Amino acid sequence: MNRIETSIDKVKDDIRNFYKPDLYHFVVINAVDLGEKIEVQWFFCEYANPSNIIAFCVQINPDEEIPSIRDIVESSWVAEAELVDLMNIKIQNTAKGFVLEPDFESGPLRKKK
């Protein structure tokens, strides 16, 4: 796996400069609760070599909003909506209520304090 560390300010530009829809498949966005921080990971693979995974990674504070990449990868809205519901992270222009009811427990996959 090729791990690319980036920042919340640069991640969208980094993905935009990297992503070529005829060369790469968007796989998913993942979030890992590290306690004080959350690591958000955007995964892609090469069509020609699917085992070659590229992950853009950024660590954020739980209350920070991350940019949406829907304008770069249209199908990413599903993964973004899942993370908003399941991890209670904020993603630009993404509302709660896709996977879970809007009044459901906030971020059921987050570590309990």
Give a yes or no: residue 68 inside a domain.
yes
Q: Is residue 80 over pLDDT 90?
A: yes
State mean pLDDT over 29-36: 95
Interval 36-56: pLDDT, tens: 999 999 999 999 999 999 999
Element (H, E) at 33: strand 24-33
16 has a pLDDT exceeding 70: yes
Does residue 80 lie in a domain region? Answer: yes
SS (H, E, C) 35-75: CCCEEEEEEEEECCCCCCEEEEEEEECCCCEECCCCCCCCC
Residue 28, SS3 per DSSP:
strand
In a domain, 103, yes or no: no
Is residue 77 in some structural domain? Answer: yes
pLDDT above 80 (res 105): no
Q: What global pTM score does this model have?
A: 0.91
The domain tally of the chain equals: 1
Residue 16 lies in a domain: yes
Residue 19: which CATH number?
A: 3.30.460.80
Range of the domain at 80: 2-91
Residue 111 maps to a domain: no
Mean of pLDDT over the chain: 92
20 assigned to some structural domain: yes
